[in-house]
A and B are shown apart, each in its own frame.
Chain A
Amino acid sequence: MAVLERISRVPAGAGMARMLVERNYRSSRRTWSIIVSGFFEPVFFLFAMGVGIGALVGDVATGDGRLVPYVVFVAPALLAASAMNGAIFDSTTNVFFKLKYARLYDSVLSTPLGPRDIAVGEISWALLRGVVYSGAFLAVAVAAGAVTTWTAVLAVPAASLIGWAFASVGMATTTYMRTWSDFEYVQLAILPMFLFSATFFPLSTYPPVLQWVVQATPLYHGVAMVRDLMLDEVGAGMLVHVGYLVGMGLLGTAWTALRIERLLLR
């Protein structure tokens, strides 16, 4: 409870986080090529999985025991993973640059905006980009025949939830970074999740002990959530996935606001 009280004391600012989103939109117009390119990464993966690995693997059993082509199995996971990667990239490398080199937040804090505005603004921006990416990826997946049901539309809001959860924790972590080489450790946390969150092969492939470990990771819940939606296998487990990610997002946002205050308002 002491933590909650501490968080409630973080100066809120003027509640104008949207102005920071506006700033990011403006600056992004000069780096549009980077933003557009971010969309291609999961598409390349989808292509590799579809034409390459898919042909080697054949069909895969889903959670409900149905057999589906490998590309149908892996597409939701790639969507979830790209939401994570995009959010992490935005909230770590980009934020670190703004925090340490551009000193953007120093000048923002000399206006009516406060630390909470910065946290909410940056995380919202990461989330918005995530929505655009996942929407575009979904369109490609439909064209590639990897989507079989209309509930797949819900994968877009689901991806934004994943984006929020990872962006908020990513940004909080970034406030502890000292040098660029510290980001190697971020990769060290992200890569195993990318590979082992039942992304490329089903949970049942793992030994029972490892299954527990896999199920504890946030990306597992993101992948499972998107996969359930895209394969139309929504069940009670969906509540667990959503609850896990919402909790992570709230915690990360509050943590970020607290850290920005510690770092810049001293």
Chain B
Amino acid sequence: MASDLEVTTDRAQRLAGGGWQAVAVHWLRKYRRVWVSTLITSSLSPLLYLAGMGIGLGMLVDRGAGGVGGVPYVVFVAPGLLAASTLQVAAGETTFSVLGSIKWTPIYHGMLATPLRVRDVVLGQLVYVLLRVTSAAIVFFVIAAALGTVRSWWGLLAVPVSVLGGMAFASCCFAYSANLRNDQGIMLMFRFVVMPMSLFSGTFFPIEQLPGWLQPVAWVTPLWHAVEACRALVLGTATVGGVLVHCAYLAVWLVGGYLLSVRVLRGRMVV
């Protein structure tokens, strides 16, 4: 009997140490039931934007201004859409499901009643989001490349960079959502942060066209850095230093958001 007990405690301790895998598996299992509809929308909507904005509107832009920065509009807009849509998927996965797991279905309560720790809960879910976001980014990138919008082999790196941008924002979304009382705050965040950021971070047009006072705001957003790095990589104009600076900035958001999420969730769950 004694040895059995020792084995179980030992196992529990090991699970606690690496318990985030169990959390990630939990979310993946849930995802398995809806993956068809979500993968369709998360890949189709940016592709529809690429067709509508890049190709359709692109005809007007190319006729009017002869493209943007020397390339056809669709080539300009594709990396922007890659970064923006990755960020939107990431935000979508760390808002309703986080608040919902606290408020509507007490999933976190259940997880924390086991040897799992708060940081396992946060890390596990973010790892799931990472997988989810990476798959969406790959699908979009492959189709965008097939349409001839990728001009350099360096462009392949745009996938991890866009994922980094998405995760940088997602980790902050997690902290924000874990602090909410009701879902109104989520709607407001999408309308006043995600939507304007997607429109004004150099995704659809260069931020130089924004009024002067708005440009510094764009520099602060994680999306602008992701868009700039992705675009430079795809067009083959990237410099190692430039990409590294953008990635470092995004990494700061990612780590900061993660630490904040653990703190906020602990404050909410461990009382």
Contact = CB atoms under 8 A, between A and B. Distances in A.
Interface stretch (A144-152, A194-202, A215-223): A194-202
Contacts of B196: 44
B188 A37 contact: yes
Interface stretch (A56-64, A168-176, A242-250): A56-64
A188 interface: yes
A192 B205 contact: no
A94 to B, nearest CB: 11
A51 B210 contact: yes
Contacts, number: 97
A181 B34 contact: yes
Nearest to A206: B56
Contact of A56 (B38, B40, B61, B188): B61
Contacts of B239: none
Contacts of B52: 192, 195-196, 200
B191 A52 contact: no
A24 interface: no
Contacts of A58: 64-65
A38 B191 CA distance: 8
A234 B45 CA distance: 34
Interface in A85-111: none
Interface string B46-81: 001101110011011100110010000100000000
Interface in A141-187: 179, 181-182, 184-185, 187
B204 interface: yes
Interface of A is mostly: helix
B205 A56 contact: yes
B3 interface: no
Contacts of B51: 195
A70 B59 CA distance: 13
Interface residues of B, number: 35
A205 B56 contact: yes
Contacts of B199: 44-45, 47-48, 52
B80 to A, nearest CB: 11
Given A51-B211, A200-B53, A188 B40 contact: yes
A28 B40 CA distance: 33
B170 to A, nearest CB: 19
B173 to A, nearest CB: 17
B56 A187 contact: no
A53 to B, nearest CB: 6
Contacts of B253: none
B209 A52 contact: yes
A240 interface: no
Contacts of A27: none
Contacts of A195: 48-49, 51-53, 56
B57 A53 contact: yes
A201 B204 contact: no
26 contacts: A34-B184, A37-B192, A44-B195, A45-B199, A48-B204, A51-B209, A52-B204, A53-B57, A55-B209, A57-B57, A58-B64, A70-B60, A179-B34, A181-B37, A182-B37, A192-B48, A192-B52, A195-B52, A195-B56, A196-B52, A196-B56, A200-B53, A200-B57, A201-B56, A201-B59, A201-B60
Interface of A: 31, 33-34, 37-38, 40-41, 44-45, 47-48, 51-53, 55-60, 70, 179, 181-182, 184-185, 187-188, 191-192, 195-196, 200-201, 205-206
Interface of B: 34, 37-38, 40-41, 44-45, 48-49, 51-53, 56-57, 59-61, 64-65, 68, 73, 184, 187-188, 191-192, 195-196, 199-200, 204-205, 209-211
Given A55-B65, A191-B45, 18 more contacts: A31-B184, A38-B191, A44-B195, A45-B199, A48-B205, A52-B199, A56-B65, A56-B73, A58-B65, A60-B60, A182-B37, A184-B37, A185-B37, A191-B44, A192-B52, A195-B51, A195-B53, A201-B60
